[in-house]
């Protein structure tokens, strides 16, 4: 008999605006030592599905409409809250996406680990400490004794996730529910955490439910995959058969999102430099008299009509590099030359007329648009301000821009909050193009978008670069996106450029050790 | 292309409109708003609808309780109370709105500039606010009255000059949070001037909390005026305000309670209406609700 058997689970939310069928007739089972992956976009019901088993869905508005969940001889959905709490702490453990919100910032990690042991097991403090240390070592925290008294904020994201896993293991659970446990982490850290979960699973014969939006992440670890869309399971199967022969169109879409491939078009032949960066340094002074060298001696040349990828993990300085090039952050030293003009020496008012040649596309389309300006206002503002359109043809030009970025003309008087994330990003791209720039810096423009949306935006960016003869600096942590889009790549690590080269050459023969590590860690679907 | 595509396109729901739709569903706020409109209309139309002449006295009548001839009764000099409540309301509303407008104008501009420019300018500007905060308000007003004599304009200015401090702080906080938003960075990278960014991108986005705070400032200003008049520092007879009427009413409360009750009711009604409207606006303008 399986460890957990869920049959016909339906969870609906009864909201003021109607009934949302978050989970509809979902069935699955997990065995000891087995990993079930539930994959889907946000809003597909994958998390609600897991949390409803543990009674963690707010009720009301949520309501379990039907179903059974057999676990250790009992039906989880019929348990009283008190009984469920015992199951939650003991036999089923969860790991969440952001460990910082799950850990108490005021308690040292050691205290937090010992607490359940002292409370539930009634062991002595000394025994609890010994056991907690053992757990920290099991999840690969070196030097556990010394870090026992440290607080959550003193740890990196990856370390915190390890601590979360250690906490989940305290009660010796039989089933582990991991909800996007690596989504907030860098690729190299993600690979480590995935490996750690697999090791622990094998050692303890755990059943694991792994919730993710990314098929590539679960490809290597899942025994079974459940693909969910709009609350329903649209496809299920072993990874191999699922990847080789996906039946449902939605599965194919998800696969395409994780399996981007290489850039189709060859790099542009003529090499006309547009912007030249020499020895760029951007340093910040941090509290305690330290200096953070966000960008440290980076040089690069951007040619017309090319897309240069800037790759690096969080904290590598890639965003600061982009903003320093655009002079949104004042560089500490070095030179940025646009045409014949040295930008770093100009003051703000001298810079202002030049700014229209340098535009930026931001990561979060929810924050990058003024919520009080309609599409027309947002796109007309740069046109009017830089006198690129006369009063009479402003509307025509705005409409042309909307056509360009694939927004329906009828949406011209709508406001940002009336659009989806992908469409908002189109508005933001339109605004960047309105000034007819030469150089555009795109800072993770697709990472805030839902799984199947980035493909459309990336193709739009490719088309626009070709159509408008743009030079694009594309900043991303996602290697598959960079490979699909970029002609050349620059790898940043701790503010320094460790390697640069043509994309396919770099992929075939990475020179720097860090690049090799990065490429090896990226989850792939082959 | 036939016709103006702008006019043909479906009109989007701006956040303002969205807030308006939400406000309309809040019965208490709507009632408050209607009551305010009624009171404002009465104040504006006072010269034409007041039943008696403002200066008319009937010493023979003296203080009389409400009757068919004098709906709200008369005071000790035989003056019609309804007439005086109406005229007093005019002054109270004028003080409330004008002083709040003064506070609003100074506060929003000052707060926006301090928040947006930041750094040393901000530090100096906000320390000035702190210093003004620390000055005892009453002494400030009394000094002004002593030096410049008592007049209405001065009262507006004095109250406005005190009330803008909180407004400036609220706006500065808003602007500091907004400044971190990417759409401000986008505006900078579009090459817009500072003033354009402040005017088009910052101020419109701070207005939600500002409007709410304004509806809560008006009643506090009216109370302040009432308080000053009560102490004899505000409006001087023969001009009248609700505060002054309440002050007289309080003196003769035991013999002629209606002289206290009716002006007090008028003031309370106004304050309640403003507070209900303010609460409704706060709920309606909260962008967190608008987001989902």
The per-residue pLDDT for range A174-213, each reduced to its tens digit, is 888 888 888 777 788 888 888 888 888 888 888 999 998 8
Instruction: Select from A359, A312, A367 the least CA-distant residue to A338.
Output: A359
Contact A326 B287 (CB under 8 A): no
- The complex's ipTM works out to 0.76
Q: Encoding tokens for residue A269?
A: 């032949």
Is residue B203 one of the residues assigned to a domain?
yes
Average pLDDT estimate for A8-32: 85
Q: What residues have CB less than 8 Å from B16, skipping those under 6 apart?
A: A372
Buried/exposed A200-239: b ≥16 CB within 10 Å, e otherwise? bbeeeebbbbbbbbbbbbbbebbebbbbbbbbbbbbbbeb
> Phi/psi of residue A47, each to 5°?
-75, -40
Q: For residue A217, how far is the Cα from the chain centroid?
A: 12
Range of the domain at B222: 37-46+56-291
Task: Determine the pLDDT at residue B5.
Answer: 59
* Contact assessment for residue A303 and residue A273, using Cβ atoms and an 8 Å cutoff: yes
Q: Which of A212, A182, A216 is nearest to A197 (CA)?
A: A182
Q: Say whether the peptide bond before residue B149 is cis (omega within 30 degrees of 0).
A: no
CB A490 within 8 A of CB A500: yes
User: pLDDT of A314-329, one tens digit each?
Assistant: 878 888 999 999 999 8
Contact status of A435 with chain B (Cβ, < 8 Å): yes
If pLDDT is split at 50, 70 and 90, which confidence band does B292 have? very low
> Residue A321: its pLDDT value, please?
93
* DSSP 8-state code for residue B10: P
What is the count of structural domains for chain B?
1
Confidence at A474, pLDDT banded by 50, 70, 90: very high
Decide if B182 and A363 are in contact by the 8 Å CB cutoff. Answer: yes
Residue A440: pLDDT band with limits 50, 70, 90: very high
| pLDDT tens by residue, A361-372 | 998 888 889 988
Handedness of CA A475, A480, A485, A486 (dihedral sign): positive
Run of H or E residues at A14? strand A4-15
Contact A381 B190 (CB under 8 A): yes
* Residues in B touching A415 (Cβ below 8 Å): 12-15
Q: Which stretches of chain B sit within 8 Å of chain A by CB?
A: 1, 4-6, 9-16, 18, 181-183, 185-193, 196, 200-201, 204-205, 287, 290-291
Sheet containing strand A333-338, strands side by side: A290-303, A273-286, A333-338, A341-342
CA angle A191, A164, A238 (to 5 degrees): 50
| Two tokens, residue A328 | 């949104």
CA distance A42 to A333: 43
Mean pLDDT for A348-365 is: 90
Q: What residues contact A184, with CB distance under 8 A and at least 6 apart?
A: A97, A98, A157
Does residue B11 fall inside a structural domain? no
What is the predicted pLDDT for the residue at B9? 66
- Three-class secondary structure of residue A413 per DSSP: coil
**Within-domain flag for B3:** no
The average pLDDT across B109-127 equals: 90
DSSP class of A363:
S
pLDDT of A58: 80
Q: Which of A360, A374, A396 sits opposite B186 (nearest CB)?
A: A360
Give percent above pLDDT 70 in chain A: 99
Judging contacts by C-beta atoms under 8 Å, the chain B residues touching residue A374 are 12, 14
pLDDT greater than 90 at residue B254: no
Backbone angles phi, psi at A93, to 5 degrees: -115, 155
CB contact under 8 A, A367 and B192: no
Has residue A277 got a pLDDT over 80?
Answer: yes
- In 3D, which of A206, A200, A129 has the Cα closest to residue A162? A200
- C-beta of residue A99 within 8 angstroms of C-beta of residue A182: no
Kindly determine whether residue B5 and residue A371, on different chains, have CB atoms separated by under 8 Å. no
Contact A432, A362 (CB under 8 A): no
Q: Report the phi/psi class of residue B75: left, alpha or beta, with left for phi > 0 and alpha for psi in -120 to 50.
A: beta
Does any domain span residue B162? yes
Tokens of A29: 């089972």
Q: Is A314 helix (H, G, I), strand (E, B) or coil?
A: coil
Q: Which residues of A touch B192 (CB under 8 A)?
A: 352, 381, 385
| 3-state SS assignment for residue A499 | strand
- A204-244, pLDDT tens digit by residue? 888 999 998 888 888 888 889 999 988 888 888 888 888 88
Nearest partner of A484 among A450, A516, A517, A456, judged by Cα: A456
Task: Write the residue in B5, B189, B204 that is nearest to A372 by C-beta.
Answer: B204
B9 phi and psi angles, rounded to 5 deg = -60, 150
Rounded Cα distance, A407 and B91, in Å: 54
Q: Is the pLDDT of residue B264 over 50?
A: yes
Shortest distance between the Cα of B154 and any Cα of chain A, in A, equals: 37
- Considering the domain boundaries, does residue B1 fall inside one? no
Task: Write the pLDDT tens digit of every residue in A370-418.
Answer: 988 889 999 999 999 888 888 888 999 999 999 999 998 888 888 888 8
Tokens of A253: 């879409």
State whether the Cα torsion A454-A459-A460-A462 is positive or negative.
Answer: positive
Angle, CA of B288, B289 and B292, to the nearest 5°: 95
Distance set, CA B114 to CA B126, B129, B198 (Å) = 7, 11, 11
B147: number of Cβ within 10 Å: 8
In Å, what is the CA distance from A89 to each residue of A6, A163, A171? 20, 16, 7
d(CA B167, CA B105): 9
Q: Does residue B31 sit within a domain?
A: no
Query: Does the distance separating the beta carbons of B182 and A415 come in below 8 Å?
Result: no
DSSP string covering A18-53: EEEEEEEEEEEEE-TT-EEEEE--TTSSHHHHHHHH
Q: Write the burial class of residue B61 (CB in 10 Å: 0-12 exposed, 13-18 middle, 19+ buried).
A: middle
Q: Does any CB of chain B come closer than 8 Å to the CB of residue A354? A: yes
Q: Using a CB-CB distance cutoff of 8 angstroms, which residues of chain A are in contact with residue B182?
A: 362-364, 367-368
Residue among B6, B183, B290 whose CB faces A376 most closely: B6
pLDDT at A381: 92
Q: Looking at the predicted structure, is the pLDDT value of residue A123 above 90?
A: no
pLDDT tens digit sequence for B61-114:
776 777 777 677 777 777 777 888 888 888 888 888 888 888 888 898 899 999
Domain A305-329+346-521 has CATH 3.40.50.300: yes
Give CA separation, A377 vs A366, A372, A381, A445, in Å: 17, 9, 6, 22
Task: Name residues whose C-beta falls within 8 Å of residue B191's C-beta, 6 or more positions apart in sequence.
Answer: A351, A352, A353, A354, A355, A356, A385, A386, A435
Give pLDDT, residue B1: 43
Instruction: Name the H helices within chain B.
Output: 5-8, 15-24, 27-49, 81-117, 119-134, 137-148, 152-179, 182-189, 194-196, 203-230, 242-251, 258-285, 287-291
- Report residue A240 CA to chain centroid gap: 25
Q: Which residues of A touch B6 (CB under 8 A)?
A: 376, 395, 412-413
What is the structure's pLDDT at B2? 45
Is pLDDT above 80 for B192? yes
Quote the CA–CA distance of B267 and B263 in Å, as a whole number: 6
Nearest CA in chain B to A392: B4
Between the CA of residue A402 and those of A413, B8, B73, what are the distances in Å?
Answer: 12, 16, 68
Specify the 3-state DSSP secondary structure of B247.
helix
Contact pairs from chain A to chain B, CB under 8 Å: 104
- pLDDT greater than 80 at residue B273: yes
Contact list in B for residue A428 (CB cut-off 8 A) is 186
CATH code, B179: 1.10.3720.10
Q: Determine the residue of chain B that is closest to A357 in CA distance.
A: B190
Q: Residue B103: its pLDDT value, please?
A: 87
Reference A266, options A311, A310, A307; nearest CA is: A307
Three-state DSSP class for A515?
A: helix
Q: How far apart are CA A395 and CA A379, in angstroms?
A: 10
**What contacts 24+ positions apart, CB below 8 Å, involve B148-154?**
B150/B233, B150/B234, B150/B236, B152/B91, B152/B94, B152/B95, B152/B235, B152/B239
What is the average pLDDT value for chain B, to the nearest integer?
Answer: 80
Task: Give the residue carrying structure tokens 């309080």.
Answer: B250
Delimit the domains of chain A by residue range.
Answer: 100-170, 305-329+346-521
Give me the sign of the Cα torsion angle A361, B205, A407, A448. positive
Among candidate residues B228, B215, B234, B221, the one with its CA nearest the CA of residue B278? B215
A415:B189 CB<8 A: no
* A12: pLDDT strictly greater than 70: yes
Contacts of A450 (CB under 8 A, 6+ apart): A41, A42, A213, A421, A422
CA distance A231 to A378: 36
Calculate how close chain A gets to B285, using CA atoms only, in Å.
12
CA distance A163 to A144: 11
pLDDT attached to residue A149: 82
Q: Do B9 and A386 touch (CB under 8 A)?
A: no
Percentage of chain A beyond pLDDT 90 is: 22
Calculate helix-pair angle for A157-169, A109-116, nearest 10 degrees: 20
Q: Is the model's pLDDT at A426 over the cut of 60?
A: yes
**Residue A521 falls in which region: left (phi positive, over 0), alpha (psi -120 to 50) or beta:** alpha
Do residue A356 and residue B5 have CB atoms under 8 angstroms apart? no
Closest residue on chain B to A329 (Cα): B185
Torsion of CA A132, A138, A143, A146, to 10 degrees: -10
Contacts A413 to B, Cβ<8 Å: 6, 9-12
Report which of residues B14 and A514 the model is more confident about.
Answer: A514
């Amino acid at each position: 008999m399986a460890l957990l058997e869920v049959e016909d689970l339906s969870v609906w939310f009864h909201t003021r605006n109607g009934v949302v069928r978050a989970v509809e007739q979902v069935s699955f089972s997990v065995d000891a030592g087995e990993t079930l992956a539930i994959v889907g976009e946000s809003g597909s019901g994958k998390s609600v599905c897991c949390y409803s088993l543990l009674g963690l869905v707010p009720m009301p508005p949520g309501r379990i409409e039907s179903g059974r969940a057999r676990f250790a001889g009992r039906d989880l959905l019929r348990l009283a809250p008190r009984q469920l709490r015992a199951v939650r702490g003991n036999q089923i453990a969860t790991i969440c996406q952001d460990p910082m919100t799950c850990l108490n910032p005021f308690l040292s990690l050691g205290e937090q680990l010992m607490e359940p042991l002292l409370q539930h097991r009634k062991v002595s403090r000394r025994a609890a400490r010994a056991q907690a240390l053992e757990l920290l070592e099991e999840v690969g925290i070196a030097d556990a004794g010394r870090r026992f008294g440290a607080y959550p904020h003193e740890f990196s994201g990856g370390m915190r996730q390890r601590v979360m896993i250690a906490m989940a293991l305290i009660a010796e659970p039989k089933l582990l529910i991991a909800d996007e446990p690596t989504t907030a982490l860098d690729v190299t850290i993600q690979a480590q955490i995935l490996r750690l979960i697999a090791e622990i699973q094998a050692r303890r014969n755990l059943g694991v439910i792994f919730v993710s939006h990314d098929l590539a992440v679960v490809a290597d670890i899942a025994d079974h995959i459940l693909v969910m869309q709009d609350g329903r399971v649209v496809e299920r199967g072993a990874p191999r058969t699922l990847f080789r022969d996906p039946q449902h169109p939605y599965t194919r879409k998800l696969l395409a999102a994780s399996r981007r491939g290489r850039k189709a078009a060859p790099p542009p032949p003529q090499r006309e430099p547009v912007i030249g960066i020499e020895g760029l340094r951007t340093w910040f002074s941090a509290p305690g008299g330290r200096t953070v060298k966000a960008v440290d001696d980076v040089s690069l040349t951007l040619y017309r009509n090319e897309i240069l990828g800037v790759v690096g993990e969080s904290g590598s300085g890639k965003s600061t590099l982009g903003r320093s090039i655009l002079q949104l952050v004042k560089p500490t030293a070095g030179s940025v030359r646009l045409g014949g003009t040295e930008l770093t020496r100009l003051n703000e008012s001298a810079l202002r007329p030049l700014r229209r040649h340098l535009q930026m596309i931001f990561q979060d389309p929810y924050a990058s648009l003024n919520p009080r300006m309609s599409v027309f206002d947002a796109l007309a503002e740069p046109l009017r301000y830089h006198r690129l359109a006369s009063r009479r043809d402003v509307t025509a030009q705005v409409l042309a821009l909307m056509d360009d970025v694939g927004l329906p003309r009828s949406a011209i008087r709508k406001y940002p909050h009336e659009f989806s994330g992908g469409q908002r990003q189109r508005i933001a791209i339109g605004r960047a193009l309105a000034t007819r720039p030469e150089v555009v810096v795109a800072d993770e423009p697709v990472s805030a978008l839902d799984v199947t949306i980035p493909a459309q935006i990336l193709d739009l960016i490719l088309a626009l670069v070709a159509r408008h003869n743009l030079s694009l600096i594309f900043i991303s942590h996602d290697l598959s996106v960079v490979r699909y889009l970029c002609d050349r790549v620059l790898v940043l690590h701790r503010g320094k450029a460790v390697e640069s080269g043509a994309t396919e050459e770099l992929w075939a023969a990475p020179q720097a050790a860090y690049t090799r590590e990065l490429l090896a860690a990226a989850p792939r679907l082959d | 292309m036939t016709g103006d595509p702008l006019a043909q396109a479906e009109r989007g729901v701006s956040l303002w409109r969205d807030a308006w739709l939400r406000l309309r569903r809040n019965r208490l706020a709507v009632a408050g708003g209607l009551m305010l409109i009624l009171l404002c209309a009465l104040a504006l139309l006072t010269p034409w609808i007041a039943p008696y002449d403002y200066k008319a006295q009937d010493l023979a009548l003296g203080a009389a309780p409400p009757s068919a001839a004098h709906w709200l009764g008369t005071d000790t000099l035989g003056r019609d109370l309804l007439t005086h409540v109406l005229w007093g309301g005019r002054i109270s509303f004028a003080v409330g709105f004008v002083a709040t407008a003064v506070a609003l104008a100074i506060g929003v501009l000052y707060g926006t500039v301090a928040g947006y420019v930041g750094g040393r300018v901000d530090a100096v500007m906000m320390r000035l606010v702190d210093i003004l905060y620390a000055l005892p308000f009453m002494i400030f007003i009394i000094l002004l009255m002593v030096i410049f004599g008592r007049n209405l304009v001065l009262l507006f200015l004095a109250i406005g000059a005190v009330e803008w401090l909180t407004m400036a702080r609220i706006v500065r906080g808003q602007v500091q949070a907004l400044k971190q938003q990417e759409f401000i960075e986008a505006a900078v990278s579009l090459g817009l001037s500072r003033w354009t960014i402040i005017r088009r991108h910052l101020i419109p986005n701070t207005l939600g909390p500002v409007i709410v705070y304004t509806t809560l400032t008006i009643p506090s200003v009216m109370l302040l005026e009432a308080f000053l008049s009560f102490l004899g520092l505000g409006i001087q007879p023969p001009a009248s305000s609700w505060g002054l009427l309440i002050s007289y009413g309080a003196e003769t409360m035991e013999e002629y309670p209606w002289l206290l009750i009716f002006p007090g009711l008028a003031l309370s009604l106004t304050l309640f209406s403003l507070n209900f409207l303010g609460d409704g606006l706060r709920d309606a303008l909260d962008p967190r609700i608008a987001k989902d």
